[in-house]
Structures are given as C-alpha cells and as structure tokens.
Amino acid sequence: MSHATFVGPDLTTFTRLDELGLLVTGQHVELERAVLACRVVEPDQWCRRCGCEGLVRDTVTRRLAHEPLGWRPTLIVTVRRYRCSGCGHV
C-alpha cells in the first residue's frame, strides 16, 4: 500500500447508496442505531399514466431499512412528488 490514494470520506459510496440512486445528506447517530437522511438523485417527473411531464407538488419522507446497516429503519429518504400537467395524477 505504498501508493495509496485517499479521498475525503463519502458516506453515500461507503454505504453503497449510490447504487440505489440516493445521496446521503445527513446523519444522526444514537447509541442503538444510526440513521442516514437521503434524497433521490435523479428526478422522475414523467407521468406513468399518460406520459406528460409533472410539476413539483411537495415532498414526502419514507423510512426504510438498508441491508448493510441492519433490519431497523436506518434511512430517511426524501422523495419529490409531482402532479401531472395532463391528467392531474400525483
């Protein structure tokens, strides 16, 4: 390891959340568990019903478990919601 290259710590890559399209935006460490706040990297504003583009409506928070970190909810993912400009579906 004489030519090792080090970079700054990257929690997103370390927890392999980049493979899921998520970006870690914060962390909260407790005695019993650690919780990571994440957001979705790529926007998905296209309606699955009619194919029109949607407008940002609001955001929702989802609590998920992530396999390398255990069975408890360890991720808080913020997801943008869109309202379709064509059919009005959210």
The 10s digit of each residue's pLDDT in 16-42 is 889 999 999 999 988 877 889 999 999
How far from 21 is each of 39, 41, 76, 88, CA to CA, in Å?
9, 6, 14, 26
pTM to 2 decimal places: 0.77
Q: How confident is the model at residue 80 (pLDDT cuts 50, 70, 90)?
A: very high
| The pLDDT value given to residue 18 | 92
Residues contacting 65, CB < 8 A, separation 6+: 71, 72, 73, 74, 75
Residue that the structure tokens 């970190």 belong to: 69
pLDDT of residue 14 exceeding 90, the answer is no
